[in-house]
Amino acid sequence: MVRVRSCRGARLMLSALAVAALAGCGAEADLSAATADATRPLKRYDVVQSLVSNGQVIVAGLQAGAVLVSADQGRSWRREALGPASLIGLTRCPDGSLLAVDFYRKVWHADASGRDWRSAAFDTPRVPLTVACDAQGGWWVAGTRAQIAHSTDQGANWQLTDLGEDAQITAIRFVDAQFGVATAEFGLIFVTEDGGASWAARGAMPDEFYPYDALFVSRDEGYVSGLAGQVLHTTDGGLSWTRQSNASGAPLYRLFLHDGVPHGVGAGGTVARLDGEAWRAVPYPDPLPVFFASGAAVAGQSALVAGGPGGLLRVIATPDR
C-alpha cells in the first residue's frame, strides 16, 4: 500500500525547515576563512605554469593573470596582478631582468627584483609556446608554424623568421652569443650559429619525437624530454641522439640545471635528476599525485621550487646523491 503524507504533516515539515533557515540567516556568518584565503598571495584556483630564478628572486607565472614573486628563497610570496594574461614561459636575461611569454601574444618584462612589469604585443607566432633572452638582451618568442619572432628594442619592433614547417617549436635556447637551438614536434631541430640572423635544420630526433622541453649545457651537449617519460641526449649539437633511461617513468615537462646537474619535473609530482646516464626520481616528503608544470633552482640552497595546478607551489630539498 502506498502511503501519502498528509498535507498537515507536510506543512509541519516545511514550517520546521523554514524556522531552521531563518535561524541560520539570523546568525552572523563566519567569513574569517574566506577573508584569510582572499589575503593569501597563492589562491586555490591558481595554476603555476612557469618558474624562473635569477639569484635575487624567484618568479612564478600563473594562468590567471598574475605573477608571484619571492625574495626569500620561496619562504614567502607577493602577488602582482597583470590583467588578462596567461604566462606559459619565463626566462632571465643577462642583466638579471625577467622575461615572460603570454599565451595572448604578449611578452612581459620586469626588473631584476621582479617589479615594474610591462607588456609588449606581437602578431606572430599566433600561438606562442616558448621564450628566450640572448646574450645581448634580445627577446625571442617561438611557437606554432615553426615561426620565431625577435626583438632588439624590448618589443617595440619584431622581426619574424618563418622556418617553413607546419610544426610547433616548444623550446628555444641560447647557449652563448652566437649559438642557439630550437626544438620542435616531429623531431625537428633548428640551429643558429650567428646569433639568430639565420636558422637551419640540423639532424633530427628519432621517431618524430615530440619534445616537451630542451636543456643545452653547451654547444655540443643537450637533453630533450618528451612523451611517455622519454629523454634524449646529444653530444654533437643535435646531429645525433641517444635515449637515456628514465627510472622515474614520468614525463618531464620542464628541464633545468640545479647545482650544475640537469633536473626535471613532471607528471605525478615527479622530481628527477640525471645520475650518470640515467634519470632517477628525487625523493621528498609528502608528495602529491599532481603534475608539476615547471620548476627552478633555488639559488644558494640545496633546494628547488616546483609548481602546478590547484595552487601547488612547493620548495623541495634536494639531498646529495
Identify the structural domains of the chain with CATH numbers, from first to last: 43-317 (2.130.10.10)
Residue 39: its pLDDT value, please? 83
The CA distances from residue 94 to 47, 111, 138, in Å, are 28, 12, 10
Residue 321: its pLDDT value, please? 63
Which residues on adjacent β-strands are paired with residue 232?
224, 243
Residue 203: its pLDDT value, please? 87
For the beta carbon of residue 145, count every other beta carbon within 10 angstroms. 16
* Cα–Cα dist 156/73, whole Å: 33
* Cα–Cα dist 62/50, whole Å: 7
The pTM of this model reads 0.87
Tens digit of each residue's pLDDT (9 = 90 or more) over 218-264: 999 999 999 999 999 999 999 999 999 999 999 999 999 999 999 99
Nine cell digits for residue 41: 598571495
- Can you state the percent helix, strand and coil of the chain, rounding each to 5? 15, 40, 45
Nine cell digits for residue 257: 640545471
* Cα–Cα dist 172/182, whole Å: 4
Q: Which stretches of the chain score pLDDT less than 50?
A: 1-26, 31-34
Instruction: Please name which of 263, 254, 67, 243 lies closest in space to residue 171, comparing C-alpha atoms.
Output: 254
